[in-house]
Chains A and B, each alone.
Chain A
Amino acid sequence: MFHRFKRGHKKMLNKSIISNTTMKSPLQGQSRLNPKGGSIKRAIMASLLLTSLVDAFSILVLYLLSSYSTSGEFMAISKNMILPAAANSVQLERTTIVRVDNGQFYVEDKATTADELTARLLEIRNLFNSKKDENFQPSLIVQADKKVTYDLVTQIVHAGAQAGYSEIKFAVLAER
């Protein structure tokens, strides 16, 4: 039944105007209207447009490379801590970190009381001095939640001054 229809369809096309024109045209058998093809076949294979995919990948790679930071993450921020934001901040460099978390002081992730702050900072300073480490900077990084009051922060500033840390670096979220 189908073959008979196919043959009839072919005969009909051979007699038609399209047949004559396409056969003599420079396109020859390349035309979509090629009656030689007989039945109209549906393309089952779907071709993926890879060019647009490569474009999207390129943009993504460029964005990620531009936001790549070479300094790395040396400071862990706890979940409940939100650092204050500042637009005119400078790049943070690794020095001694003092953290205030829920009213508790931490020097290099080691819990310390307010009274022991100076002693602990002096201990770190002496340790680096004994090693004659030239990279050691007498500066402190203060990491505190934006909602804490200054009476807590001042204890670090005060202890730092007593232990000989002349510079204080307040850790902030850099705004761009």
Chain B
Amino acid sequence: MASVAGPRNKKVLDFEIVLTPFIDLFSVCISFSLLTAVWIHLGSMDVKQAVGGQAAGESKNPPALWTKIDESGDLTLELRDAPKVAPKFAKSVIPGVAGKVNFEALASYVDSVKTLQPDLNTALIMPQAKTVYEDIITLMDKFKGSGLKDLGVSPL
């Protein structure tokens, strides 16, 4: 006997996702992440000893930018072993602004020098006794940002 499928035999196709386990899982994940989250990201500015770090057998020094910071924020920049740069351009002074280092002028100077001497990758920083530590780090940061990867700092 054939039976005609009526409305009673229809399967219910609609279904609901049970969200409660999802919420439980998310709550656990969030709690764990909040407890283990590192809110302060620390980094480091790696430098090498400026003077006396070179090997004795090294015959030719790489081009380097020697930077002296004064207490007034003045920067005295000197390019050494950079034959492609004209001697009058090799030494320059960037005066500080209101006792602070003029980092914008420094960035433009380094960019112009890098175009003349593309293999310039070394910068040596010579701070004074009363130079603020933050200024030294910012200077290193600007140098690294301009492509001077090998940094050195000289002791007093």
Q: Does B15 contact A (CB under 8 A)?
A: no
Given A146-B134, A151-B156, decide whether A174 and B36 contact each other with a Cβ distance below 8 A: no
Q: Does A170 contact B (CB under 8 A)?
A: yes
Give which listed residue, B19, B33, B141, B155, contacts A51 with CB less than 8 A: B19
The chain B residue sitting closest to A67, CB to CB, is B37
Q: Does A144 contact B (CB under 8 A)?
A: yes
A109–B34 Cα distance when bound, in Å, is 27
Q: Does A92 contact B (CB under 8 A)?
A: yes
Q: Does A86 contact B (CB under 8 A)?
A: yes
Q: Is the CB of A167 within 8 A of B47?
A: yes
Interface string of B115-135 (1 = CB under 8 A from A): 000000000000111111110
Q: Closest CB-CB distance, A61 to chain B, in whole Å?
A: 5
Q: Is the CB of A173 within 8 A of B43?
A: yes
Q: Is the CB of A144 within 8 A of B133?
A: yes
Given A50-B19, A161-B155, decide whether A173 and B40 contact each other with a Cβ distance below 8 A: yes
Q: Does B64 contact A (CB under 8 A)?
A: no
Q: Is the CB of B26 within 8 A of A58?
A: yes
Stretch at the interface among A15-23, A69-77, A119-127: A69-77
Q: Which of B47, B133, B155 has the most CB of A within 10 A?
A: B133
Q: Does A8 contact B (CB under 8 A)?
A: no
Q: Closest CB-CB distance, A157 to chain B, in whole Å?
A: 5
Give which listed residue, B30, B40, B141, B153, contacts A86 with CB less than 8 A: B141
Given A157-B155, A168-B153, decide whether A86 and B43 contact each other with a Cβ distance below 8 A: yes
Q: Does B136 contact A (CB under 8 A)?
A: yes
Give which listed residue, B26, B52, B131, B133, contacts A84 with CB less than 8 A: B133
Q: Report the interface size class on chain B.
A: 35 or more
Q: Is the CB of A89 within 8 A of B44?
A: yes
Q: Is the CB of B133 within 8 A of A173?
A: no
B108 partner residues in chain A, CB cutoff 8 A:
none
Segment 34-75 of A: residues with Cβ below 8 Å from B = 50-51, 53-54, 57-58, 60-61, 64-65, 67-69, 72-73, 75
Q: Does A150 contact B (CB under 8 A)?
A: yes
Give which listed residue, B46, B130, B137, contacts A149 with CB less than 8 A: B130
Q: Does B42 contact A (CB under 8 A)?
A: yes
The chain A residue sitting closest to B134, CB to CB, is A146
Q: Is the CB of B155 within 8 A of A158?
A: yes
Binding site for B on A (CB under 8 A): 50-51, 53-54, 57-58, 60-61, 64-65, 67-69, 72-73, 75, 77, 83-93, 139, 141, 144-151, 153-154, 157-158, 160-161, 166-174, 176
What are 26 A-B pairs at a CB distance below 8 A?
A: A54-B19, A57-B30, A60-B30, A61-B33, A64-B30, A64-B37, A65-B33, A67-B37, A86-B138, A87-B141, A87-B145, A88-B141, A88-B145, A90-B46, A146-B134, A150-B133, A151-B129, A151-B130, A153-B133, A154-B129, A154-B155, A158-B156, A161-B52, A166-B53, A168-B49, A171-B44
